[in-house]
Amino acid sequence: MTDIASPTVRISARPASATRDIGIKRRYAAERRFRAYGIGAISLGLFFLALLLWTVVSNGYTAFQQTTITLPIEFSEKVIDPKGERATDGKVLMTANYPLLVREALIKQLGIDASKRPLVKQATDMMSASSRTLLRDIVVADPSVIGKTIPVTLLAEANVDSAFKGQIDLSVEESKRKVKDQQVTWMNELASAGVLKKSFNTGIFTFGASSRPEAAGVGVAALGSLFMMLIVLVLSLPIGVAASIYLEEFAPKNRLTDLIEVNINNLAAVPSIVYGLLGLAVFINFAGMPRSAAVVGGLVLTLMTLPTIIIATRAALKAVPPSIRSAALGLGASKMQTIFHHVLPLAMPGILTGTIIGLAHALGETAPLLLIGMVAFVVDYPGSPMEPSTALPVQIYMWANEAERAFVERTSGAIIILLIFLVVMNLGAILLRRRFERRW
Amino acid sequence: MSTSLLLLLIVLIGFISYFAGRARSLAQANGKLSNLHSLPGYHGSYVAIWAILPAALVLGAWLVAAPMYIDSSTRAILPETVQTQGGATVELALGQVKSVAGGLKRLTAEELSSLENGSANLRSTLAAKGVALAGEGEPYMITAAQHFNAMSVTNRWLMSAVVLLIAIAGGAYAIRNIATRFRARNQVERVILGSLIVASSIAILTTVGIVASMLSEAGRFFTMVSPFEFFFGTVWDPRFSAAGSGGASGQFGLIPLLAGTLYIAFVAMLFAVPIGLFAAIYMAEYASPRLRSTAKPLLEVLAGIPTIVYGFFALVTVGPFLRDISAQLNGLVTGNYQNFIQAQSVVTAGIVMGIMLIPFVSSLSDDIITQVPRALRDGSLGLGATRSETVKKVILPAALPGIVGALLLTASRAVGETMIVVLAAGVAARMQIDPFEPMTTVTVKIVNQLTGDLEFTSPQTLVAFALGITLFVITLGLNIYALYIVRKYREQYE
């Protein structure tokens, strides 16, 4: 009895009150603070995500518009082919003085005195230097235009483009900005005449590298990326799946397979730049493959993506319940038949999801490509994976190093394009998982 | 016959063999399929494998070996005067012979004969055909080139004949094997298993490739610069890798780069760990399922954004923002509107890298926190502890080893990150403790040393491999240790 009695005595020895101070207020305050930290951390993370996307979008959405100037160009025979040799000498049409055609059309449009050189220079500076190739292509494609006057839509020079989009602060002193007052007057004049206007920029999707922002686009880089993604897909999916099947279904538990396991986990965490060094040393130096080629980029990205795909595939194979295997084996299928006819099809959604996510990672990877010479100024579309090409993220990197306002805009525009690709791929993966994934 | 045509032919033979094998097994079965040990398809595949595999292997080996043989035989007929001048001259002459050989194929018979009797100039004749020759052509080159061309032609024909013969012989041998009791399926499955093993050994080969290539190139670097100077040098000043400057010039001290790498990684972790950890705790312990199912994937979007985008973000937003705000602060305090944070600085790179690392910290820690057994949580709550006390006093201590592992994994990512630091950290290799000044990292210098025109004999280029192996060892060490901790911890509760 005493040992029951003694605590009662002890309690009664204290003042028996319900408000015994166990610091409840302080502790609840601490609890609230702790909770607030958590909410704060999540909001901060989401805030940075929003800020990042806002930076890209606000800088970049204007890249999808381009200022164009439509001028009636007189394809005068006197300028293009003064000696009448174009039938015999093919070079005449290639090297003709096309900028002169643009200049004359512009002078006529603006009503400038052709003898005032500085004024004429300012006017022609408003036109992109890419007009030359544009007109040349028109004439070479159809020489019958010579002698006619045709309205041609030409690109405005990048600074005029920026000024027209309102990105250049026109209140700054004239000598400190790249667009002069006279040019702004002309710009407004042309705009009110309906000659100069903004239109959807198809060029950013089709052009290649260029030192002039208005003629630069991601088309060539995107094709390089496409080549690499095809190589990555064709190589890493079969190899990754085969490796996972062996490791998951066949491999005996021994030292070697343990080593392979540890290896794969570590390869997944090796910095991507190390793969670039590997590609440089093995594929380019040792095997003598061409530098800057999409094929080397594809191989490097394949090695980089393989661990991701193997890890995803093994998880997908593991998720197929053993009862499926037992049933197939029980009906007399061989182990190989069980796996290829029953387990693999059931694991396919998981494998494809992992593959798409791996590809998305590879698509955004830049560092290894810098080392294998894909930082190249590639103007023309590569015809095959063996030809010099560049990649979408590398193009972004190259543009990010340019200081001009128009390039900042284009960098963001290219990032938007890249992010759209990634979003589409990831959404595809999510849909695939939602649609086909089975819960056993 | 071109290689791709040859490959196509082999595949074609394989196709035919497949159907031949199938048909033969069906014929042997006498219309009763159960007479066969294996399904007809397996018999077909067996024959096809025999037709394709040996031929393809021989083709591969031939393609590697034949050019070496032809080169060495051409080298042997180069005149004595060239032979005695040593390796580089012989290789140069061989290269010229090969371009002459390419050019000779485009010449007409009479042009060729006028070349042979010396009445026409080799260089100008070839130039007219669009083949540029590096030097003035020598007469011996024509004979050598003709030898080269003749051998190449013979080699092509020989290769085509041998490979096709092997394909046909393989198929024929396999067809003869087919019988009702023949275990074609087992044979085919053995080949499949073999290819599975080959595929899984690629992982090992990659690692071996990384280590071997880096070690050999770094080894060449260390013959020019002593390892002591590299690992303990405090000055990084590699000069330019100009063509021809073979000797070691400039200083290659790793310490400033390593200091920059670790400093930036430290700042990034300082930024990412509290945010990531608190986000993970909130997500695991407090958040309603709805909040969790939206906030978690959204945070993980940060992990899916390519690092080049973060670099751009640092370049156009964070860097200028820090520079301007520091100027404002300085102005408010001292009246001198001079920025004390550079646009490219340790903090800029650190903060942006930290943002990138938030989802790594949060999802890894989230996994580990949710793995802590329910019983521990319930026990603590049952004793009257608040949730935050449970987290601080029970869950975190229990999850600590796992969280440390997760943080090590994150740190290895921070050390190996490239694009953010390339754009945001600067290129100045110096040692300092001021985080507002630019510093540079190992990865930045690897990129710097390897972009542009390269010459693979200068220490300026080879140093990148020494830096690479350093980076590889650091991250590998962090990873292995982290995986070890995580695995050990996981076993504890399973």
Q: Out of A182-186, B280-284, B345-349, which region has the weakest mean confidence (pLDDT)? A: A182-186
CB of B73 less than 8 A from some CB of A: no
Ramachandran region, residue A387 (left: φ > 0; alpha: ψ -120 to 50; beta: rest): beta
The sign of the CA dihedral A336, A340, A342, A348 is positive
Across the interface, of A30, A246, A397, the residue whose CB is closest to B388 is A30
Chain A residue numbers with beta carbons less than 8 Å from the beta carbon of B413 are 269, 271
| Cβ–Cβ < 8 Å for B262, B256 | no
Q: How many CA atoms lie within 13 A of A104 on its CB side?
A: 14
Q: What is the ipTM of this complex?
A: 0.87
Q: Could you give the domains of chain B?
A: 3-182 (no CATH), 236-493 (1.10.3720.10)
Q: Which residue of A has its CA nearest to B358?
A: A45
Residues written for chain B: 494
Average pLDDT over residues A278-290: 86
Contacts with B201 from chain A: Cβ below 8 Å: 260
Choose from A258, A273, A301 for mutation: most chain B CBs within 10 A. A273
Q: Which residues contact residue B90 at a Cβ distance below 8 angstroms, ignoring those fewer than 6 apart?
A: B75, B78, B82, B83
Q: Is A127 helix (H, G, I), strand (E, B) or coil?
A: strand
Question: Which residues 6+ apart lie within 8 Å of A72 measured at CB?
Answer: A105, A109, A149, A150, A151, A152
pLDDT value at position A374? 83
**Which residue of chain A has the CA closest to B193?**
A246
In B, minimum Cα distance to A247 occurs at B200
Task: Determine the Cα–Cα distance for residues B466 and B473; give it in Å rounded to an integer.
Answer: 11
Query: If you count residue pairs, one on A and one on B, with CB atoms under 8 Å apart, how many are there?
Result: 253
**What are the tens digits of pLDDT across the range A13-68?**
455 555 666 788 889 999 999 999 999 999 999 999 999 999 999 988 888 888 88
Report the C-alpha gap between B397 and A346 in whole angstroms. 40
Task: Look at residue A6 in the predicted model and tell me its pLDDT.
Answer: 46
Residues 95-134 of B with CB under 8 A from A: none
HEC-encoded secondary structure of A198-248 = EEECCHHHHCCCCCCHHHCCCHHHHHHHHHHHHHHHHHHHHHHHHHHHHHH
DSSP state of B286: I
Between A424-438, B13-27, B191-205, the lowest mean confidence (pLDDT) is in A424-438
Q: Judge contact between A199 and A68, C-beta under 8 A.
A: yes
Chain-wide mean pLDDT for chain B? 85
Give contacts of B 216-255 with A, CB under 8 A.
216-217
Q: Which of residues 326-385 of A touch B (CB under 8 A)?
A: 334-336, 360-361, 363-367, 370-371, 373, 375
Q: Which of A89-98, A332-341, B254-263, B294-303 has the lowest mean pLDDT?
A: A89-98
Residues in A touching B310 (Cβ below 8 Å)? 52
| Set of chain B residues whose Cβ sits within 8 Å of the Cβ of A264 | 203
Q: Which of residues 399-418 of A touch B (CB under 8 A)?
A: 400, 408, 411-412, 415, 418
Render B437-461 in DSSP notation, one character per residue.
S----HHHHHHHHHSSS--TTSHHH
Question: Model-level pTM?
Answer: 0.86
Contact across the interface for A245 and B419, Cβ inside 8 Å? no
| Cβ contacts of B191-198, under 8 Å, gap ≥ 24 | B191/B49, B191/B53, B192/A336, B193/A246, B193/A250, B193/A336, B195/A242, B196/A242, B196/A243, B196/A245, B196/A246, B196/A250, B197/A246
Least CA distance to A59: which residue of chain B?
Answer: B316
- A219-436 CATH choice from 1.10.3720.10, 3.40.630.30, 1.10.10.10, 1.10.10.410: 1.10.3720.10
Q: By percentage, how much of chain A surpasses pLDDT 90?
A: 36
B203 and A263 in contact by Cβ < 8 A?
yes
DSSP assigned state of A184: H
Which residues in chain A touch residue B286, judged by CB atoms under 8 angstroms apart? 35, 38
Instruction: Give DSSP secondary structure letters for A359-417.
Output: HHHHHH--HHHHHTT------SPPSSTTSB---HHHHHHHHHT--SHHHHHHHHHHHHH
Which residues share a beta bridge with A198?
A67
Pairing of strands A149-155, B236-237: unpaired
| Annotated domain spans of chain A | 67-200, 219-436
What is the pLDDT, as a whole number, of residue A44? 94
Percent of chain B predicted with pLDDT > 90: 36
On whether the CB atoms of residues B310 and B348 are closer than 8 A, the answer is no
Mean pLDDT, residues B113-141: 70
Q: Do B413 and A48 touch (CB under 8 A)?
A: no
pLDDT of A201 above 90: no
Q: Which of residues 310-369 of B touch A (CB under 8 A)?
A: 310-313, 315-317, 355, 358-359, 362
Q: What does the pLDDT look like over B84-112, one tens digit per residue? A: 776 677 777 777 788 778 777 777 777 77
